């Protein structure tokens, strides 16, 4: 018999894995750097947070859970900043943004 918390953990991690897989699929399917940044920036942040949340539920109310919670907060500050750094570099280098109807790269 699987415990309730193990089940919640499994569901959360499965959802996290779903988003972690969608991120790379987006990298392949989307046409240019800027749109790819959307896929990697958002799906990965959500996926990682869900996996960590699952681990917090598994861990219960301990110091390790608090550390994992801090990791989530850190991720939410770091991920947009990293995404921003990449697209800003592309913008400064006058990287052409894809428009509908154009040939994809």
Partner 1 sequence: MKGIERIISISVTFGILFIFWILLSAHFDAFHLVAGAVCAMLVAVISHDLLFTKPVRGGILTLLHFTHYCGWLFLEIWLAGLDVAYRVLHPDLPIDPQVVTFDTPFSDDIVRTVFANSMTLTPGTITIDVIGSTYTVHALTSEAARDLTEGRSIEKRVHRIFPET
Return the sign of the alpha-carbon dihedral for residues 11, 13, 16, 18.
negative
Which member of 11, 74, 80, 105 binds partner 1 (CB under 8 A)? 80
Positive/negative CA dihedral, 9, 10, 12, 16: positive
CB of 39 closer than 8 Å to CB of 27: yes
What is the total residue count of the chain? 105
Q: What angle do CA 24, 28, 30 make, to 5 degrees?
A: 105
* Distance of closest approach, residue 40 Cβ to partner 1, in angstroms: 10
Q: What angle do CA 76, 78, 81 make, to 5 degrees?
A: 110
Total residues at interface with partner 1 (CB under 8 A):
40
Asked if 70 is part of the footprint of partner 1 (rule: CB under 8 A), the reply reads yes
Q: How far is the CB of 52 from partner 1 (least distance, A)?
A: 13
Judged by CB under 8 A, the residue of 11, 67, 74, 105 near partner 1 is 67
User: Which residues would be at the binding site for partner 1 (CB under 8 A)?
Assistant: 18-19, 22, 25-26, 29-30, 32, 34-35, 37-39, 41-43, 45-47, 49, 63-64, 66-67, 70, 76-77, 79-81, 83-84, 87-88, 91-92, 97-100
């Amino acid at each position: 018999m699987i415990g309730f918390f193990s089940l919640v953990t499994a569901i959360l991690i499965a959802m996290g894995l779903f988003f972690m897989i969608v991120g790379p699929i987006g990298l392949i399917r989307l046409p240019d750097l800027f749109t790819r940044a959307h896929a990697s920036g958002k799906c990965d942040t959500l996926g990682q947070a869900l996996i960590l949340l699952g681990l917090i539920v598994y861990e219960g109310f301990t110091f390790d859970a608090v550390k994992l919670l801090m990791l989530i907060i850190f991720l939410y500050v770091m991920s947009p900043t990293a995404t921003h750094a990449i697209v800003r570099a592309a913008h400064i280098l006058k990287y052409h943004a894809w428009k509908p109807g154009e040939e994809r790269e």
